[in-house]
Structures are given as structure tokens and as C-alpha cells.
């Protein structure tokens, strides 16, 4: 589903390409409805403002230079999908079930086989800082395939795991360098991920569903390579590892939209 969502963004773009290719050039029509920051962006006008002329100095709902790129911050919005392999050793999920009073239980990872695999939808927002640097944040939400969990529970309480949810949020800083149609990025993520385990507990005739969670800190260097599909869109792949744990790696693919063409980094000819 995640890959399908990512693909749909690209597909939508590709479908729009012929329909929106140079509308103002091909048909000579008014490009005010196009999306080229041409100054007729109706989103800038309040609902009570009705424009009666487009002439600069006479128009009331728009100001000069709405196409001025310097008005926009250099930001990137990305969506992608990733697969993470990470050890859950040391994670402990503690919960309480309500069956004739509170009954405690705990799920521990098996020290011998504690690797989990998570597939996630990633959303990231970054803002350029300086010529090549950037800062931002990344949010990943997905499902995790849990390793065997050892259950320790109060007498008479049965505990079954039903699902695993993966949530990771990181702050990041990095730098990107363009080489022709490609861009290489190096960045560092610092944040925390949470594993949320769906649990079904039963005691005599009583059945209850709930969830327990545990978290890990992450410090992840990441490298990525991306290609410019258009001046405002890149697609690429990334690899990362965690310096806090062994065998903690992740890889992903993504599409990014850039508010400024080529991030505003290219120079004239």
C-alpha cells in the first residue's frame, strides 16, 4: 500500500504532464489558472475580494510579483517508503489487563532472535539552511513484523500479540550536493521510534484487547542519492544505519517536491 501511494504521486504527475504542459504557450490562453506562480493565484485573495482588473496598480486582490521566487522559502516535501531491520533486544513491553482487577503482564524480546522488520510510509519536510545545508524532520508510520516475544503474566492470564505498529520521528540535518542530474545527500537523524504491540488478553471467560508500547532512541547517519525528474521534483533511494545498535539498518525510496527549482543552487549557463 505504501509503495502504491508513492507511485500514485508520480503517476498523477505523469498523467498531468501532457495536460498541463505549457498551457499558456500552446493554446495562447490565459495561464492564470495554471500553477506557475504567475500572479493569479486565487488562493492569495480573500473570499470577499472580487477582482475586476488584472492591471498592476489597479487590481485590488493581488500584488505585484506573485511569481517572485524569493517569496518562497527553500523547502522540500518528501514522501516515500522504507524497510527497517532492527534489533529489539532490551525492549520490554509492560501492560496491565483489566480482568477482575488489574493483572500485569510483560512481553520481553528473546535475546537470541530479536530482529524486527518494519515497513513504513515516510513523510519528511526539510528547509534549506545555507547554500547546501538543510534541517528538517521525518515521520515514519507503518507495520512491524515482530520477533518472538516471551510473555510473563499473572497467573491465569493468557497474552497473545495481534499486531505491531511502527512509528518513528526524527529531527535531521544534512547537506546535499548536485552533480549534473543527480544529487547526493548526507544527513544525520536523531529521534525516537516506538513499537506498539496489539495485545489480546484472556482470563477465564474475559477477553480484552489493548496495546503496549516501548521506545528506542535512534542516531542515524543516512546517505541518499536522487535524480532530478523535473526542476521541482526528485526521486531517489536512501540507506541508513544506527550508531547505537548493530544490525540496525534501513533502506527506502522517495519522491521529493522542491519549492525552488533545483533548490535554487544552479548558476547561469
Binding residues for other proteins, rule: CB under 8 A, are: 9, 12-14, 16-17, 20-26, 28-32, 34-41, 43, 52-59, 63-65, 67-70, 77, 229-233, 257-262, 264, 266-269
Cα-atom radius of gyration of the chain, to the nearest Å? Answer: 25
Give the count of alpha carbons within 13 A of 176, CB side only.
29
Question: b/e per residue, 8-40, with b = 16+ CB within 10 A?
Answer: eeeeeeeeeeeeeeebeeeeeeebeeeeeeebb
C-alpha cell at 189: 537523524
Q: Least distance in Å: CB of 80 to other proteins? A: 15
Q: Which is nearer to other proteins, 68 or 160 (CB)?
A: 68
Q: For residue 167, how many other CB atoms are within 10 A of its CB?
A: 18
Q: Least distance in Å: CB of 268 to other proteins? A: 5
Q: Least distance in Å: CB of 65 to other proteins? A: 4
C-alpha cell at 204: 477465564
Q: Which is nearer to other proteins, 72 or 217 (CB)?
A: 72
Q: Which is nearer to other proteins, 13 or 154 (CB)?
A: 13
Report the phi/psi class of residue 265: left, alpha or beta, with left for phi > 0 and alpha for psi in -120 to 50.
alpha
Q: Least distance in Å: CB of 191 to other proteins? A: 22
Q: Least distance in Å: CB of 79 to other proteins? A: 10
Q: What are phi and psi of 4, to 5 degrees?
A: -60, -40
Spatial CA neighbour of 232 closest among 42, 20, 53, 49:
20
Q: Least distance in Å: CB of 224 to other proteins? A: 18
Q: Which is nearer to other proteins, 46 or 112 (CB)?
A: 46
Q: Which is nearer to other proteins, 17 or 217 (CB)?
A: 17
Q: Which is nearer to other proteins, 32 or 211 (CB)?
A: 32
Amino acid at each position: 500500500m505504501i509503495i502504491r501511494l508513492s507511485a500514485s504521486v508520480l503517476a498523477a504527475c505523469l498523467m498531468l504532464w501532457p495536460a498541463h504542459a505549457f498551457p499558456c504557450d500552446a493554446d495562447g490562453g490565459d495561464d492564470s489558472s495554471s500553477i506557475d506562480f504567475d500572479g493569479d493565484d486565487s488562493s492569495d485573495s480573500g473570499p470577499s475580494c472580487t477582482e475586476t482588473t488584472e492591471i498592476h496598480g489597479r487590481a485590488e486582490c493581488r500584488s505585484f510579483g506573485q511569481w517572485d521566487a524569493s517569496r518562497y522559502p527553500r523547502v522540500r516535501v518528501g514522501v516515500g517508503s522504507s524497510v527497517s531491520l532492527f534489533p529489539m533486544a532490551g525492549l520490554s513491553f509492560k501492560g496491565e489487563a483489566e480482568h477482575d482487577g488489574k493483572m500485569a503482564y510483560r512481553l520481553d524480546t528473546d535475546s537470541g532472535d530479536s530482529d524486527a522488520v518494519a515497513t513504513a510510509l515516510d513523510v519528511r519536510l526539510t528547509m534549506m539552511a545555507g547554500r547546501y545545508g538543510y534541517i528538517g524532520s521525518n515521520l515514519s508510520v507503518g507495520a512491524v513484523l515482530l520477533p518472538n516475544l516471551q510473555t510473563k503474566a499473572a497467573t491465569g492470564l493468557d497474552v497473545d500479540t495481534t499486531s505491531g505498529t511502527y512509528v518513528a520521528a526524527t529531527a535531521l540535518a544534512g547537506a546535499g550536493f548536485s552533480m549534473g542530474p543527480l544529487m547526493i545527500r548526507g544527513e544525520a537523524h536523531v529521534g525516537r521510534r516506538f513499537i506498539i504491540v496489539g495485545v489480546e488478553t484472556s482470563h477465564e471467560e474475559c477477553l480484552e484487547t489493548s496495546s503496549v508500547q516501548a521506545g528506542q532512541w535512534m542516531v542515524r547517519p543516512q546517505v541518499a542519492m536522487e535524480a532530478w525528474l523535473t526542476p521541482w521534483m526528485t526521486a531517489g533511494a536512501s540507506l541508513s544505519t544506527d550508531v547505537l545498535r548493530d544490525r540496525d539498518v534501513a533502506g527506502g525510496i522517495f519522491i521529493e517536491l522542491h519549492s525552488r527549482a533545483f533548490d535554487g543552487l544552479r548558476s547561469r549557463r
